[in-house]
Chains A and B, each alone.
Chain A
Amino acid sequence: MTRLPKGARRVLRMFLPGDWREDIQRDLEEAFATRFASDGRLRSTLWLWGQVAAFAARFVAERVREAAGGGLLTSTDVRLAVRAVRKSPGLSVLAVASLSVGIAMAVGSFVLIRGTFFMDLPFPEGDRLYVLEDYNRTDAYAVGVGPQEFLRRRLRLTSFEAIEAYRSRSVVLGDGGGGGISVSARYSTPGLLLLADTPPRVGRLPDAADVQAGAESVVVIPHGVWRALGSDPDVVGSTLIVAGTPTTVIGVMPERFAFPWGDEIWIPVDIAAGQEPLQVIAKLRDGVDVRNARAEYQAIARPDPMQVTPGTEVAHEVIRMDRSLASGSAAQLALLIPIAVSVLLLGVMATNVANLMLARNATRAGEIAVRSALGGSRLRVAGQLVLETGVMVAVAAGLALGLTRVGLDAFQARVRGLPYWADFSINAPTAAFIVAVVLLTTCVVGLLPALRVTGGNLSDALRDGSRGSSGVRFGRLTGTLIVLEIAICVGFLSSATLLGRSLLAFGFEGTDIPGSEVLVAQLYLGWPDILRDPDASLPETERADIRAEFLRESARKGELLREASLTLPGARSAVLATRFPGNESQPARVHVEASGAVVVSELAEIGEGYFELLGARPLIGRDFNEVERADRLPVAIVNEMFVRLHLAGVDPIGSLVRVVRPESSDVDAEPWRRIVGVVPSLGLNPGNPANADGVYLPLPELNVVRLAVYGDGNPPQWTPRLIELARAVDPAIEVQWSRTLEAQMREPVVMFRALGTGLLLLGVLALVLSAASLHALTSASVTRRTRELGIRQALGARRVAIVGAVARRTTAQTAAGAALGGVLALALSRLGSIFPWEVADGSAWALTAVAVLLLATNALALAQPLHRALSIRPADALRAE
């Protein structure tokens, strides 16, 4: 007969009653042998485990049924449980603290995931709204769709009952009295708000007549803006000045309504008349399978030549609107981090408390044996122990709810860009989750230790109890728990240390300019209509000429706006560039003539005064001069890291590099550039200073450029005025966004900084808790072995031998846990790739630091039990016998 696998036998031993266990095992072996012969190893093994699980579940249910028949829980049980908890206040506090943090993290991540990714849009048929998106296959960045291409697609797509588009821009909203507020406006097709199927609070929604030629400009405002404008009850029909244009208010949307993404004003326009790229939202026709809609969209859509460089691979995607956040951006990836952390943390906490419970139960083996001797069934006695844990878990759950609420409120207050439909309230599904977590935690940390401690021999326990030692031995389960706990602790702390170190390193050197005194804004000038029309038949040379002329004109307007921005109150200097510190990476291939190598390096194209504005100056050589800028001569400036990495041993000044932009297809057309200066790193890759090698070139003529204004005024308040200045230069200039340099430097890291701090604190907490657990277990072990240690002493054992006898196993477990933790830490360090910067390299450093910390903490934890072991007097220990 085929013997059952060891694991199966263990499970059966754990859950089946002793009087039938062997017989059931025998019969299962018989059936398993038959299956094995007919079905082979894999299928028969799967079948067997199914049977084992069924037997375990069925007999557990039977025991509960039996116990419930005899009254499983009485008020006396609850009173006893509360008394037992109060009897060991230190242990109870530690357990409650551990469980609170663990449960809070688990519940918090559940609420975060559910509230962000699995909430339906808060209006009828929201599940039929889809974002039609184009994105660059190479870098996954979304690319816009121009009006012509949008209209072409809308005409042909049949899977959607409505397809609407909008573009966003910052506008100043005033009441004509000179004041104004800066708001974000959605210039959209008139049907955009109809997609939300939500009536306005007052007034009406836009319709097609609002965008007909000669119609007056109208606007729908959100509740928040209505309040900001004084909560005028007769606002409908009144006139507001929107971006300098008198506009009639036709409606106010209800409180908390926002569509598609945030709190903005809605202005219906003839979308074909615009130039800027559009975002598209569509409502799926009832009964149409989204896969068919996607296929149709992909067949009809084609890259908009005015939005993407020819040759770029563009993907066309149909994404459910309320699920669209689940793909892509760093913010969503960041949301995954707390989840991973909470899983680890709950593991640490549950393991820790299970250990503590086991240690405490071990010291109560005598009491438990007496209960059993008085007729208490194993289930009844174990139930009492589980109930004690349940009391602690219940207290912990209450604390955890408070912690979760505070944490979620802080998260919501600090993290921008969350969808407005995100709901972090603790509602029915959350409550169900909490109950499940509480029950599961109680079972894990209560049931397993209780079963372990009640499974011993009754007479042995009574005898051990009478002489002050414990009959419970800490077997493989406990050993495994400790190893696991230390592994998690090491992995966790190492990751926290690495992350913390990376965050500390975040930033850029070489400048001491206060980022709060610099305003950075993105200017977009669009394209002329003739270039936007994909059907326009223009000779290529003529198209190129028009394009070049437009870019030249754009550069001139950008320069005019730069000069105008110096009139902002307190402004001292203003600079145009393609990027400033904190902006997204712009890599380029760089050929280094000296070494013949081709390297990938950061690229920034900069206007006059760039380095001065950032408070930096060339370390060697000089800045670009006027002639080089005006004639765009083939020169370059590199940073210190570039020299260190790619020009080691070479005089950088005068060396040649050839910079090839990602979109450039003709490498040979790019000139060799002479390096004229070397500057500090200046935040070209702030997340990864060691990889921040970069090249600066004179600013070319562009239609998208960033403007930075430095001054001692109040940069955040410059935005409305800057928008007005832009419109004065050319109404077509769009100020797409603006923020302080400090904000844009901080934005990518604010959440990670909080996370890093949290990780460090929690890592330390985990370490303290694991040390407490080791202390409790060693202490219980000394109690259990009192007599043995007494005899050893009587036989003349040396102190070192006693210490070795007590600490050997703990030390081995710590070593095994640390080794496993090292592997875990390395695995976790791979998570570094999801950060918007590279996590500092230094796994060995972090692991060493954590190992030393762990050893020191463990030594402290073991000091008291070891002292007690050495203080056992042989006569006392033997007298107890």
Chain B
Amino acid sequence: MSKGALGELETLVLLAALRLGDQAYGLSIAEEIRRTARRPVSRASVYVTLRRLEQKGLISTWRESPDVAPSGKPRRFVRLRPEGITRVGEARRGLQRMWSGIEDILEEA
């Protein structure tokens, strides 16, 4: 894997954040991965990945207003930066290239 390549969990977290839109935060991302990718993932791993993605500049975070937070404690939401979206797209294209030509084999499996 090249230095800038996304790891599998990083890709999943970015995808989940994209799917959730402005409702993406740690817990909801973990839940989305569990529900949609049907992959058990620990919350701790999701938060570690979010922090790493933020340090890489692929996501930005923002806190909701305390006034609208149900508990009075604002959630920290996540959104993808343009660089993040580009990297997810690159990951998708790379995977698609790898998938191509082996559909027959996989259908037989």
Contacts and interface: CB of A to CB of B under 8 A. Distances in A.
B51 to A, nearest CB: 5
Contacts of A17: 51
A51 B47 CA distance: 12
B5 interface: no
Contacts of B51: 17, 19-20, 62
Contact of A24 (B26, B45, B63, B74): B26
A551 to B, nearest CB: 77
Interface residues of A, number: 19
B47 A1 contact: no
B81 to A, nearest CB: 17
Contact of B26 (A19, A27, A54): A27
Given A23-B26, A59-B48, A29 B73 contact: yes
A431 B39 CA distance: 40
A1 B73 contact: yes
Contacts of A20: 47, 50-51, 76
Nearest to B44: A58
A23 B44 contact: no
B20 to A, nearest CB: 14
Contacts of B37: none
A54 B42 contact: yes
Contacts of B63: 23
Contacts of B73: 1, 26, 29
Given A51-B43, A58-B42, A26 B48 contact: no
A30 interface: yes
Interface in B29-77: 42-45, 47-48, 50-52, 63, 70-71, 73-76
B40 to A, nearest CB: 12
Contacts of A19: 51
B27 to A, nearest CB: 5
A30 B27 contact: yes
Given A54-B42, A58-B42, A24 B47 contact: yes
Interface in A631-678: none
Interface string A7-36: 000000000010110011011111100000
A38 to B, nearest CB: 15
A19 B25 CA distance: 15
Which of A19, A26, A57 has the most chain B CB atoms inside 10 A of its CB? Answer: A26
A62 B48 contact: yes
A54 B42 CA distance: 8
Nearest to A20: B51
A51 B48 CA distance: 13
A212 B76 CA distance: 91
Given A19-B51, A62-B52, A27 B25 contact: yes
Nearest to B71: A1
B27 A54 contact: no
A23 B71 CA distance: 13
A54 B47 CA distance: 11
Contacts of B71: 1, 26, 29-30
Interface in A45-68: 51, 54-55, 57-59, 62
A58 B45 contact: yes
A56 to B, nearest CB: 8
B42 A31 contact: no
B66 to A, nearest CB: 11
Contacts of B26: 23-24, 27
Contacts of A62: 48, 51-52
Contacts of A51: 43-44
B43 A31 contact: yes
Contacts of B47: 20, 24, 55, 58
A29 B43 CA distance: 13
B14 to A, nearest CB: 17
Contacts of B42: 54, 58
B50 to A, nearest CB: 8
A57 B42 CA distance: 12
A20 B54 CA distance: 11
Which of A1, A17, A23, A55 has the most chain B CB atoms inside 10 A of its CB? Answer: A23
B61 to A, nearest CB: 8
B38 to A, nearest CB: 20
Which of B43, B44, B50 has the most chain A CB atoms inside 10 A of its CB? Answer: B44
Contacts of B43: 27-28, 31, 51, 54-55
A23 B70 CA distance: 14
Nearest to A24: B47
A26 B75 CA distance: 7
B100 to A, nearest CB: 34
Nearest to A23: B76
Nearest to B51: A20
Which of A27, A28, A62 has the most chain B CB atoms inside 10 A of its CB? Answer: A27
A8 to B, nearest CB: 13
A28 B27 CA distance: 8
A54 B45 CA distance: 9
Nearest to A31: B27
B44 A59 contact: yes
B107 to A, nearest CB: 38
A29 to B, nearest CB: 7
A23 B46 CA distance: 13
A29 B70 CA distance: 12
A29 B75 CA distance: 11
Contacts of B52: 62
Contacts of A26: 71, 73-76
A23 B25 CA distance: 10
Nearest to B25: A27
A651 B63 CA distance: 94
A51 B26 CA distance: 14
Contacts of B44: 51, 54-55, 57-59
Nearest to A34: B27
Nearest to A19: B51
A169 B43 CA distance: 69
A428 to B, nearest CB: 34
A31 B45 CA distance: 16
A27 B74 CA distance: 10
A57 B48 CA distance: 11
A27 B48 contact: no
A538 to B, nearest CB: 76
Nearest to A57: B44
Contacts of A29: 71, 73
Interface of A: 1, 17, 19-20, 23-24, 26-31, 51, 54-55, 57-59, 62
Nearest 5 Cβ contacts at the A-B interface: A58-B44, A23-B76, A1-B71, A54-B44, A55-B44
Interface of B: 25-27, 42-45, 47-48, 50-52, 63, 70-71, 73-76
Given A55-B43, A58-B48, 6 more contacts: A20-B76, A23-B76, A27-B25, A51-B43, A54-B43, A59-B48
9 contacts: A20-B76, A23-B75, A23-B76, A26-B73, A30-B71, A55-B44, A58-B47, A58-B48, A62-B48
